[in-house]
């Protein structure tokens, strides 16, 4: 892989109308207004509503799976691609085959388009989930540890497959610099997902004998790390993106003024299986490992090699999330 990457001038963003993409495109638009960029191309599978569009940004409907993706990019001439398009929370009725087509085949298509259109640098949003949820995960995971995204979890498995593909391209196509950010659990003022839903319950689910630690990253720090990757000051590579420290499920409950309901692992697995079979729960028995074997990301390389220091620690990000919910009239504290 290249040891340096020139500062981006023409940036194309896939998944530009997703949660992370909107904030990034807004920041890139402001940079373009200050003449730090020549072009910002915001691509999404859906049309971006006019009220969310920024002046000067070129918006394009584009499916990362499109057969003519390379031809479209040759016309747009990006020198840098930020690849955010991914299925994070599947919609109702979405099949695993469809998720695979977007996550894995879409990334394969994006890489081919980068090579065909002369892109110099690709920045990819990966996830700590690529390490997998395993009983023998070390207390802290660093970037040199194996990626074992569990096959039972589509998101984790697909992130693992994508990273294996990226590793092969680093060997076979070193002219395309790669920055891969393995992102922890994102919190922000407007974040609502299956993890934040766990914190909204009157009592938090805990598994007896497991501390279930979470690492958090504030959404503004995700945006800051992406912008740093585009600046030309950061060496390409693979980096864990998380705030300092971690919070166990018990510590999270205490900060919320709530208690935990501690289940024996076997009992919770049986309850999840029954709830899934009856259609009264979106979670199945496989979620047991998701809850008890959290990948805990060490961010030393992010700070020392990549050169980015998150503004908020995991604990500070969680406190800011609590405060944001309260300000919105949706308090999650007891």
For residue 251, is it within any domain? no
Q: Which residues pair with 186 in a beta bridge?
A: 217
The alpha-carbon radius of gyration of the chain (Å, integer) is 20
- Residue 28: per-residue pLDDT: 97
Which CATH number fits the domain that encloses residue 24?
3.40.50.720
Please state which of the ranges 120-124, 188-192, 314-318 shows the lowest mean pLDDT. 188-192
273-288 core/surface letters (b: 16 or more CB in 10 A; e: else): beebeeeeeebebbbb
Tally of domains within the chain: 1
Instruction: Kindly state whether residue 153 falls inside one of the protein's structural domains.
Output: yes
The Cα 109–Cα 173 span in angstroms is 15
Over residues 210-251, the pLDDT tens digits come to 999 999 999 999 999 999 999 999 999 999 999 999 999 999
What pLDDT score does 90 carry?
Answer: 87
Mean pLDDT value across residues 2-15: 86
* 29-51 pLDDT per residue, tens: 999 989 889 999 999 999 999 99
Q: How, if at all, do strands 80-83 and 121-127 pair?
A: parallel
For residue 103, tell me if it sits in a domain: yes
Residue 79 lies in a domain: yes
Range of the domain at 231: 10-186+218-242+297-311
At 151-171, the pLDDT tens digits run 999 999 999 999 999 999 999
Helix residue spans in 204-248 (DSSP H): 219-230
In a domain, 196, yes or no: no
Mean pLDDT rounded to a whole number for the chain: 94
Return the pLDDT at 4.
60
What whole-number distance in Å separates Cα of residue 196 and Cα of residue 256? 12
Range 131-148 average pLDDT: 96
| 3 band by pLDDT with thresholds 50, 70 and 90 | low
Q: Please give the pLDDT value at position 2.
A: 46
At 279 the pLDDT is 80
pLDDT band at 91 (very low <50, low <70, confident <90, very high): confident
Residue 250 within any structural domain of the chain = no
What does the pLDDT average to over 138-143? 97
Q: What would the two tokens of residue 109 be? A: 């298509």
51 exposure class (CB count in 10 Å sphere: 0-12, 13-18, 19+): exposed
Q: What is the pLDDT of residues 183-211, one digit of tens each?
A: 999 999 999 988 999 999 999 999 999 99
Question: What is the separation, in whole angstroms, between the first and last Cα of the chain?
Answer: 50
Summarised one tens digit per residue, pLDDT across range 268-299 is: 999 888 888 888 777 788 889 998 999 999 99
What pTM was estimated for this model as a whole? 0.95
Placement of tokens 């980096």 in the chain? 239
Distance CA 119, CA 175 (A): 9
pLDDT(177) > 60: yes
pLDDT tens digits for 253-275? 999 999 999 999 999 999 888 88
Q: Which residue has the tokens 């040759």?
A: 74
Q: Is residue 118 part of a domain?
A: yes
- The helix, strand and coil proportions of the chain, stated in percent and rounded to the nearest 5, come to 40, 15, 40
Residue 115, domain member (yes or no): yes
pLDDT at position 1 = 44
64 confidence band (pLDDT: 50, 70, 90) = very high
For the chain, what percent of residues have pLDDT higher than 90? 87
pLDDT greater than 50 at residue 98:
yes
CB atoms within 10 A of CB 153: 18
Please give the pLDDT value at position 114. 97
């Amino acid at each position: 892989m290249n040891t340096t990457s020139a500062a981006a001038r023409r940036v194309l963003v896939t998944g530009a109308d997703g949660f992370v993409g909107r904030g990034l495109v807004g920041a890139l638009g402001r940079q373009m207004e200050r003449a730090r960029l020549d072009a910002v191309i915001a691509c999404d599978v859906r049309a971006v509503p006019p009220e969310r569009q920024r002046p000067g940004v070129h918006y394009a409907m584009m499916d990362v799976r499109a057969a003519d993706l390379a031809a479209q990019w040759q016309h747009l001439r990006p020198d840098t691609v930020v690849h955010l398009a991914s299925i994070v929370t599947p919609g109702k009725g979405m099949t695993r085959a469809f998720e695979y087509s977007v996550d894995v085949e879409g990334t394969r298509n994006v890489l081919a388009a980068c090579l065909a259109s002369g892109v110099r640098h690709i920045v990819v949003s990966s996830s700590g989930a690529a390490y997998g949820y395993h009983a023998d995960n070390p207390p802290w995971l660093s970037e040199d540890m194996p990626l074992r995204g569990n096959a039972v979890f589509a998101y984790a498995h697909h992130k693992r497959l994508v990273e294996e593909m990226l590793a092969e391209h680093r060997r076979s196509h070193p002219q395309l610099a790669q920055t891969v950010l393995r992102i922890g659990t994102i919190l922000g003022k407007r974040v609502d997902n299956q993890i934040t839903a766990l914190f909204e319950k009157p009592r938090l689910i805990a598994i007896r004998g497991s501390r279930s630690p979470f690492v958090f990253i504030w959404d503004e720090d995700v945006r800051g790390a992406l912008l740093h990757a585009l600046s030309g000051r950061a060496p390409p590579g693979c980096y864990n993106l998380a705030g300092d420290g971690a919070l166990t499920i018990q510590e999270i409950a205490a900060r919320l003024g709530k208690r935990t309901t501690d289940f024996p692992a076997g009992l919770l697995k049986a309850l999840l299986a029954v709830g899934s079979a009856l259609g009264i729960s979106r979670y199945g028995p496989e979620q047991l490992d998701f809850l008890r074997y959290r990948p805990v990301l060490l961010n030393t390389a992010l700070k020392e090699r990549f050169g980015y220091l998150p503004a908020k620690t995991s604990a500070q990000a969680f406190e800011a999330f609590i405060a944001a919910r309260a300000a919105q009239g949706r308090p999650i504290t007891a």
